[in-house]
Amino acid sequence: MKIASVIVDVPAKQTDKTFDYLIPQRLENVVVPGVRVNVPFGPRNIQGFVTGIKTESDFKKLKEIVEPLDLTPVLNKELLTLGDWLTEHTLCYKISAFQVMLPAALKAKYEKKVILPDDRKRNELEEEIQTLFNGATEIGWQEVVDNNLVALLKKESDRGLVEVVYQVKDRLRKKRLKHIKATLNRSELQVEIDCLTPQAKGQKVVLEYFLENHDDQVDMRTLLSATGASQATVKTLVKKGLLSEKYIEVYRDPYGEREFAHHEPLPLTNAQEQVITPILSSIEDDRHEVFLLYGVTGSGKTEIYLQSIQRVLNKGEEAIVLVPEISLTPQMVKRFKERFGDLVAVMHSGLSAGEKYDEWRKIQRREVKVVVGARSAIFAPFENLGIIIIDEEHETSYKQEENPRYHARDVAIQRASTHGCPVVLGSATPSLESFARAQKGVYTLLNLPKRMNEQPLPTVDIVDMREELREGNRSMFSRNLFEKLQDRLEKGEQTVLFLNKRGHSSFVMCRDCGFVVNCPNCEITLTYHRFQDLMKCHYCGHEEKVPTTCPECTSEHIRYFGTGTQKVEEELTKLLPEARVIRMDVDTTGRKGSHEKLLNAFQEGEADILLGTQMIAKGLDFPNITLVGVLSADTMLHLPDFRSSEKTFQLLTQVSGRAGRHELPGEVVVQTYTPEHYSIELAGPQDYDRFYNQEMMARKVHKYPPFYYLSLVTVSHEELMKAVSVTEKITRFISSRLSSEAVILGPVASPIPRIKNRYRYQCLIKYKKEPELRTSLKSILDHYQQETASGSLQISMDLNPYILM
């Protein structure tokens, strides 16, 4: 008797263990570790993952597996083990770990229905229930609830007239296209064509098409567009038996309509040769090693990636390339597709659930060898990984900010060590953590200090905006920047203007008393949206109208303030009416593909100025950009986050890298109210080493990473007192279990003290070595299990948090 151990789809403490099920004889060869199954669980049926097969169980009354949901496992052995690792390292449930490794399309959808097991007994039903069914044999459970008939239905169910059933469904199906084929041979076809009545023109064209392309089967869409016939015409021919139709599984290919010219490897420079040699030897020896590829923008890191991957492919192995979501641009994808063609799968959030699922299936079916994708691509189900590359290693988007709170870099290193293959972390501004590890020799440091074309770095002017104000310039453009803007316009060169992300940009303030409108639920400043003339909360979506008078002092001088991209755009058109501006922010790039369209337009020279947020800081590589302006470098610097200096430095460096990448020299203007800050000062000459030393000193003094590890516990509750008292208890408990070396900060209100009407308190633990910490944190979760399950209390734990707000 075969028994399956199953992790069921119930994310809760009590169910975070395997449940045993009998495997029916007929399913013995299908139900293997890694397949999803439909199992009875209590009164309902739910999805589960088979994690192991055994022959005995401690449990007496085992139920049988209802049906498998896969014919081949969706998780291989390595990923099953990786799931355990994830659970352990992020304190998440097993089921969440498995689900995060798979495309969302594979997540189960549950349907609760009521059916009539015996249609003939329909008349015996109570009148109201009969009306509800209204002739149908099944109805959704929700309808019963909506009509307040649950109690009545229960009676009918006890009488055996109706039955409540639970269905487990995949969220999505494979896409299938109708394909048409001729059933007759050529001469027979010809006969049929001749027999057609003269008015059957459409049929004639279709048949002639098959006469020409006889052996092919063709999908409906192509056939219709090739012949100009209608669907009805084809259907008639199928009915006549002259054609046959069948469904063939196809991939939704987001890049399917594009042609990619093949590109050969480029010759490497000496510097590149030196850097790639140790990577290649690690590949050859199947040796796990982590490389930190530290190379300035434009130093040719991508070519290193491409040629390393080529070596991996030559060995018959596979590669994962992680790229931050925002730089996963078509340009980036193109470089990989041009080199490796159809062997590349692309995964990013712009794809629909179906497209993601299809890309994933290409990997699962061994049809591709390289995956280029954002964070979650790290779980690509390859079996012979030969290399993992993480580009822009310092990017915070590699950290998932919801459960399971994993960092793709950690997962990469974990996977690479089981596969015995190298990890390459690439960046022009490495995270302090990684650079420190390289300094210590944990990672191997590879250096590409020069730009490929020996282009000098752009000159950077740092403009003190306080000075501008003192001189009477109240505009958002300094005189320096404005002059340069005009100059570029005259020369027909392009400018990129960079503004920090929205939310910090535009808010409503009373000019008389300084009152700022906050969200009633979240206590953060409401963002003003000019387009709808509304104020919105960034966190909970709360909206309200702009007050006409100040609620504090009744002054009428209350209006929006600060600089959003829209406002900059307005001022630009006022000051430089002849300038053509493209604005890129969340509002203008919301729709799929609009991001690309705007960039293309800019590349084609359809605009002089590209104005945008974060998203334009990366990957832009257009020859005609000779000026980059950063409108306010401070916004990021003053965020309540110990990494804000690092982020500011990285951002400024990154943005400066956009200028003058080709023949024309570049200039950068950075506007700031704190020009003396080292992260701004050193970003100008792109002096990473000095920045690193300065910032390391600060981190050491304040006991932050990389000198200390962090863990963050956040408690939220609708009642302030409850949130505080629980956080206090937790803090006391943790400190009793820590060594004297550790530091615990808190309880304090979270930087955002209230979200969606819940008060948030937190404590932050700084430590060097606390082997017992994870166990302690787990026991806290256990202790509050009941209260968290009911939803009144929320406790989130982040081992190694990236956002401390």
Partner DNA sequence: AGCACGCCGACT
Partner DNA sequence: GTCGGCGTGCTC
Q: What does the binding site for DNA look like in residue numbers (CB under 7 A)?
A: 10-12, 14-15, 19-22, 39-44, 57, 59, 61-63, 110, 112, 151, 166, 786, 789-791
CB nearer DNA, residue 292 or residue 780? 780
21 or 761: CB nearest DNA? 21
Is 92 annotated as contributing to ligand binding? no
Using the structure block, give the residue that is written with the tokens 């008639």.
236
> Are residues 430 and 259 in contact, defined by beta-carbon separation less than 8 angstroms?
no
Nearer to DNA, 114 or 651 (CB): 114
421 is in an annotated binding site: no
Q: Is 550 annotated as a binding residue?
A: yes
| Alpha carbon distances (Å) from 227 to 191, 194, 240, 317, 789 | 20, 18, 19, 44, 61
User: In the complex with DNA, which residue's Cβ is closer, 22 or 268?
Assistant: 22
CB atoms within 10 A of CB 84: 12
Closest to DNA by CB, 154 vs 176, is 154
In the complex with DNA, which residue's Cβ is closer, 62 or 664?
62
Q: Smaller CB distance to DNA: residue 15 or 486?
A: 15
510 is in an annotated binding site: yes
Q: How far is the CB of 18 from DNA (least distance, A)?
A: 7
Is 763 annotated in a binding site? The answer is: no
Q: 45 or 589: whose CB is closer to DNA?
A: 45
Helix (H/G/I), strand (E/B), else coil: 327: helix
Q: Whose Cβ is closer to DNA: residue 111's or residue 741's? A: 111
- Residue partners of 419: CB distance under 8 A and separation at least 6: 78, 288, 384, 385, 386
Task: Return the DSSP state at 160.
Answer: T
The CB-of-309 to DNA minimum distance in angstroms stands at 42
DSSP states along 12-52 = SGGG-SEEEEEPPGGGTTT--TT-EEEEEETTEEEEEEEEE
Q: Is 537 annotated as a binding residue?
A: yes
- Strand 385-390 vs strand 423-427: parallel, antiparallel, or unpaired? parallel
- 519 labeled part of a ligand binding site: yes
- Other C-beta atoms lying within 10 Å of the C-beta of residue 353: 15
Please confirm whether the linkage preceding 103 is cis (ω < 30° from 0).
no
Query: In the structure encoding, which two tokens stand for residue 323, read together?
Result: 């790229």
State the nearest-atom distance from the C-beta of 19 to DNA, in Å: 4
Q: How many CB atoms lie within 10 A of CB 799?
A: 19
Please, which residues bridge with residue 178 across strands?
247
Nearer to DNA, 11 or 705 (CB): 11
522 marked as binding residue: yes
User: How near is the Cβ of 145 to DNA at its closest, in Å?
Assistant: 10
Answer left, alpha or beta for residue 398, where phi above 0 means left and psi between -120 and 50 means alpha. Answer: alpha
SS3 label, residue 801: coil
Query: For 656, phi and psi rounded to 5 degrees?
Result: -60, -30
CA distances from 368 to 286, 350, 372, 420 (A): 21, 20, 11, 21
The least distance separating DNA from the CB of residue 522, rounded to whole angstroms, comes to 23
CB 47 to DNA: min, Å: 12
Task: Residue 419: name the closest of 323, 320, 531 by CA.
Answer: 320
Q: Of 439 and 794, which has the nearer Cβ to DNA?
A: 794
The least CB distance from residue 642 to DNA, in Å, is: 32
The amino acid sitting at 349 is S
Taking phi over 0 as left and psi of -120 to 50 as alpha, with beta for the rest, 593 belongs to left
The number of C-alpha atoms within 13 Å of 651 and in the hemisphere containing its C-beta is: 27
Measured from the CB atom, is 455 or 792 closer to DNA?
A: 792
Instruction: Using alpha carbons, select from 568, 572, 550 the residue that is nearest to residue 559.
Output: 550
| Shortest distance in whole angstroms from residue 174 CB to DNA | 27
Q: Using the 8-state DSSP alphabet, how is residue 380 labeled?
A: -
* Smallest distance, DNA to C-beta of residue 622, A: 49
Give one word for 482, left, alpha or beta, with left for phi > 0 and alpha for psi -120 to 50: alpha
Beta-bridge partners for 528: 535
Encoded tokens for 53: 């097969």
CB of 41 to DNA, least distance (A): 4
Residues 6+ apart with CB under 8 A from 512: 550, 553, 555, 557
Nearer Cβ to DNA, position 197 or 790? 790
Beta-carbon contacts of 697 under 8 Å, excluding residues fewer than 6 positions away, are: none
* CB nearer DNA, residue 150 or residue 805: 150
Name the residue with tokens 């770990």.
97
Q: What is the largest CA-CA distance in the chain?
A: 96
Q: How far is the CB of 104 from DNA (least distance, A)?
A: 18
Nearest to 260 by CA among 319, 309, 333: 333
Nearer Cβ to DNA (166/507): 166
Q: In what order do the strands lie in the sheet with 63-64?
A: 63-64, 18-22, 3-8, 44-54, 36-41, 67-68
CA distance 383 to 399: 24
DSSP-derived letter for residue 27 is: G
Question: Is residue 785 left, alpha or beta, with left meaning phi > 0 and alpha meaning psi from -120 to 50?
Answer: alpha
Cite the DSSP H helix spans in 241-300.
270-284
Decide if 6 contacts 32 (C-beta within 8 A): no
Q: At what angle do helices 720-736 and 773-783 cross, to 10 degrees?
A: 140
Residue with tokens 């996963």: 328
Residue 544 phi/psi, 5-degree rounding, is: -150, 165
CB of 16 to DNA, least distance (A): 9
Least distance from DNA to the Cβ atom of residue 122, Å: 23
Least distance (Å) between residue 43 CB and DNA: 5
Q: Name the binding residues.
A: 510, 513, 519, 522, 537, 540, 550, 553
Q: Name the binding residues for Zn(2+).
A: 510, 513, 519, 522, 537, 540, 550, 553
